[in-house]
Chain A
Amino acid sequence: MSFVLCSLVFGGGVIVFMSRSPYFSALGLVLATCGLSGVLMLGGAVFVGLILFLMYLGGMLVVFAYSAALAADIYPEVGAGKGLVITLVGAAVLAMVVEVSWGVVEVKGLGVQEDLLGISGLYLDSWAGLLLGAFGLFVCLFVVLCLVRGVGRGALRAV
């Protein structure tokens, strides 16, 4: 089980950078996030894994997919040939090596859930850090809006 999840993570990453269209890269991201979320859940951090599914896949990736649908080709190119298959097999081998040598996924029971302790600590003790992170994301929003504005003031289009 953990081998399947690890190879999903690595294989998803491979699909992200070897695809010829952003749609399939997003598919690779979905696979990688599913695998990583499974690894987290097996390790005992159930809440964080669910948050990953909900926020990353259900929030950010959905927005990205809609943006890609607005900007990318209507009929995307499919497939990357035998290079993709070879790299996926290599990724599966790498996942097996990582899992066997590091024992990265330890299956734990649901005794004390440390992820819930951590998240409640984020809101209780390190509230300043939470606000700082929120400010950082706010700045990131303005930076992105400033960079992709277009119509003579934008930068990434340089027109």
Chain B
Amino acid sequence: MIDIVVQALVNGLVSGTLLAVPAIGFTAMFAVLRFPNFAVSGIATLGAFAGYLAYGAGLQMAGSLVVAFVVAGAAGLLFDEVAHLPMVKQGALPAAIASIASGLVLENLVRLGFGNDPRGYDRPIARDIRLGDIRVSPQQLETMGLALALMLAVFAILAFTRIGKAMRASADNPDLASLKGIRPERIAMIASFAGMGLVGVGGMLLGLDSAIDPLTGTRILLSIFAAAVLGGLGSVPGAVLGAFLIGMAEELSVLAVGSQYRAAVGFVAILAMLTLRPRGLLGERAY
């Protein structure tokens, strides 16, 4: 019994690491653009398919992730500029609703191109690594390592570079930042591109484990949103913490109540958080 629980926690750790990538993107976009961008569902799917095509064309895993990042980032930027940012002047809610529509558009564009059939990445088969009764596949370790490297890069960029500092300043106080020559609209574009790039990479990483189809992103949307809310919307470390908690809670829920209730974990987490501590575990800190 203990073994099963530990195995579930290990699986949760792996899926939490992967989930952290799009959750960081989602929360960073919220910090700068001030609306929840639910187009992450469609963008994650787009990223997964872009990475799938690149991988199928013979690129290595890291290279395919770059393709997923760039394609998803470009699409995210396009949709923000055309559909969401004109709405955000009217308030966060109109922009959020517009982003749901964008997600549907993207999902169906992917369906138009690839159909509904699930597709696998055709990765080489490898034997699981065993530690006692706990199993981890080398592929899980690889994707986890890539996700961790990506997160470290994001933290380093936010902490040490001018762009990162400008983003944090703009998220904290856009007016004051603009007095120092930080252009809010340029920061918004960078946040759109990089945030959605991370979401696209996240879609691919989460798709690697199983198969991908046009609903891949929609299935992880709730987990991404729950992770961000749990950690505190707008907080990057919060999103990482939230992703780990959601990842593990989802795996444990499969043991406790069965896999058909897995999706309920996100809802319960959001409900509990908004009731007990609305600003999230780490409050709102831009990084």
Q: Decide if A and B are genuine partners.
A: no
- What residues of chain B have their CB less than 8 Å away from a CB belonging to chain A? none
Interface, chain A (partner B; CB < 8 A): none
